[in-house]
Amino acid sequence: MTTYAIAGASGQLGRKVLDALLTQVDAADIVALARDPAKLADYAVRGVGVRVADYDRPETLAPALAGVDRLLLISGNAVGARVPQHAAVVAAAQAAGVGFIAYTSILHADTSPIGLAGEHRETEALIRASGLGYALLRNGWYMENYTGNLAPALQFGVISGAAGEGRIAAATRADLAAGAAAVLIAGSLGVHELAGDVAFTMADLAAEVARQSGQPVAYVDKSEADYTAQLAGVGLPAPIAAMVADSSFQTSKGALFDDSHTLSRLIGRPTTTPAEVIRVSLAG
Ligand SMILES: NC(=O)c1ccc[n+]([C@@H]2O[C@H](COP(=O)([O-])OP(=O)(O)OC[C@H]3O[C@@H](n4cnc5c(N)ncnc54)[C@H](OP(=O)(O)O)[C@@H]3O)[C@@H](O)[C@H]2O)c1
């Protein structure tokens, strides 16, 4: 019997990983870790073990990982604070005798020019140095980043960015979660570049939203500075605006493109197409 643990299970990706695991693994063999276990009450009633694990409180991590064979560490969302948080989890995994750790990194982490990649590179390095068996799940951008809220695009007829003609191989959280579950169950060691099968430019995205909605929607490309100012102007805190604009600008250099099709091979089917994700979002 193999015991699987998911750290960051209460988040949007984590819950989908639990859903994917539950289609193939007994609930009794799954441990869901969260700093607030109440958020996972719906999984507890299904028989999933729920334990407290706070990346900022190392004393919670050893008991959380007792008896765990394979751990998925979902990267935290406190940008700038994540390396010590992830280091604490890796140290606890070593101490608990966890045999295998998978970590949600960023697409092409080793070469990515995106500012957010730095913390992922540092985490990957400490995982490689840990001596644990490991899998690096280098996730591309979520499709939902582009389709989660299409209302402003429909209202103003504009999608803005600094991504130029950069092609984006985004994938849904559900597909990335299915990939993570597949890697955990198979114990597939190594680096996995995980992205959608169908890449698109921001202009393609706008054209598909226009086609499906029947309303005029166009992509407007901006400089990184102008896009940063626009995001700050609609209320994003300055560091977040800069981070989003940086990611968008680096997209123009190919930072979010991948054509390895590793994810569809892992999940045994094509990834969900952008057109399908847009259809569901517009129907929403
Ligand atoms: N590929 C992409 O497009 C993309 C986009 C955004 C983020 N990300 C990265 O991918 C991760 C997962 O994405 P997501 O959509 O699931 O994000 P999310 O919904 O924000 O979930 C983040 C998870 O991390 C947990 N967490 C944060 N700080 C923690 C701490 N100190 N101790 C324990 N758990 C902690 C959260 O717990 P709580 O429920 O208690 O808050 C939550 O479960 C993000 O955290 C981020 O690193 C990727």
**What pLDDT, in 10s, does the model give residues 240-277?**
999 999 999 999 999 999 999 999 999 999 999 999 99
Give the tens place of pLDDT for each residue, 4-49: 999 999 999 999 999 999 999 999 999 999 999 999 999 999 999 9
% of the chain exceeding 70 in pLDDT: 100
| Closest C-alpha among 54, 44, 51, 46 to residue 67 | 51
What is the structure's pLDDT at 43?
Answer: 98
CA 33 to ligand 1 center in whole angstroms:
12
Residue type, position 11, single letter: G
User: By alpha-carbon position, which residue is closest to atom 7 of ligand 1?
Assistant: 77
> Which pairs with CB-CB distance under 8 Å and at least 24 residues apart come from 182-185?
182/20, 182/266, 182/267, 182/268, 183/102, 183/135, 183/137, 183/266, 184/4, 184/21, 184/70, 184/72, 184/100, 184/102, 185/4, 185/21, 185/24, 185/25
Task: Indicate the top mutation candidate among 18, 54, 74 to test ligand 1's pocket, ranked by most ligand atoms within 8 A of CB.
Answer: 74
Establish whether residue 85 lines the binding site of ligand 1, counting it when its CB lies within 6 angstroms of any ligand atom.
yes
Taking residues 104-124, report their average pLDDT.
98
Which pLDDT band holds residue 135 (cuts at 50, 70, 90)?
A: very high
Whole-number Å distance, alpha carbon 10 to ligand 1 midpoint, is 8
On the question of pLDDT at 106 being above 90, the answer is yes
- Ligand 1 neighbourhood includes 107 CB (under 6 angstroms): no
Give yes or no for residue 137 having a pLDDT over 90.
yes
What pLDDT digit, counting tens, does each position of 167-212 carry?
999 999 999 999 999 999 999 999 999 999 999 999 999 999 999 9
pLDDT digits (tens, 9 = 90+) for 49-79: 999 999 999 999 999 999 999 999 999 999 9
| Domains parsed from the chain with CATH numbers | 4-139 (3.40.50.720), 141-171+196-258+269-284 (3.90.25.10)
- Is a pLDDT exceeding 90 seen at residue 155? yes
Protein residue with its CA nearest to atom 11 in ligand 1: 75
When the pLDDT of each residue in the chain is averaged and rounded to a whole number, the result is 98
Pairing type for strands 133-139 and 49-52 reads unpaired
| pLDDT attached to residue 284 | 87
How far is it, in rounded angstroms, from Cα 240 to Cα 228? 9
DSSP category for residue 59: G
What CA–CA distances, in Å, run from 199 to 47, 173, 269? 38, 16, 16
Q: Which distant-in-sequence residues (6+ apart) come within 8 Å of 205 by Cβ? A: 146, 159, 168, 219, 274, 278
Contacts of 20 (CB under 8 A, 6+ apart): 174, 177, 178, 180, 181, 182
